[in-house]
Each structure stands twice: as structure tokens, then as C-alpha cells.
Amino acid sequence: MERRKIVRSLITVGLLAALVAVIILSQNHDPSNPHSTIPRDTWINGPQGHGYAVNNNQAPAERCYPCHQKKGLGGQSYCQSCHDQSGVKVSLPQS
């Protein structure tokens, strides 16, 4: 009987520790941001970052751009400044 009690206690402590770990780790995750699991520098400059996503996305102006504007991550002038620096010709939707 005593052995069962010890096993149950160990399981309970293990489950509580796992719950605390999940709560702590989930504090840094933004569920509304599809890029939150990728470091910013990797996302912007990495081999499968921004340029890769834009080139392989069916309609980035319709899918990405409105969300970026809504979240204050840069509107037309912000995006255009980077595009001009890199020599990319793109027409962004007018807001």
C-alpha cells in the first residue's frame, strides 16, 4: 500500500512540474503571430525567411500585408523603403 502511495506522489509531482514548464514556456509564444517560433534575424535574413515566404506565397499582398499593417509592423512606406534598398520592384496595396 505504501509503495502505491509513493508512486502516485511521484506521478503527481511529475505532472505538476510538466504543467509549470508548459506555462512558463508558453509565456513567450504569441498565437496570433505565425512567425513567433522563429528568431527575428533568421526570419528576416535567413535562407527560408521573408524573401522565401514572399516568393512561395500565392498572394502575400492579400495574406501577409493586411496583418502586418494591423499589428503596426510597417505600412506601405516601411515596406517600400526596404524594397527600394534591395532593388525589388513591387506594388503594394493602397490602404
Q: Give pTM, 2 decimals.
A: 0.42
Q: What is the dihedral of CA 19, 22, 23, 29, to 10 degrees?
A: -170
Output the pLDDT for position 5. 94
Report how far apart the first and last C-alpha atoms of the chain are (Å, whole number). Answer: 70
Query: Cell numbers at residue 72, please?
Result: 503596426
Secondary structure string (H, E, C) spanning 48-72: CCHHHHHHHCCCHHHHCHHHHHHCC
More confident residue, 53 or 12: 12
Output the pLDDT for position 29. 67
Return the domain boundaries, the chain. 1-30, 31-95
At 22-81, the pLDDT tens digits run 888 777 666 767 777 777 777 777 777 777 777 776 667 777 777 777 777 767 777 777
Listed residue (45, 28, 47, 46) closest to 37, CA to CA: 28
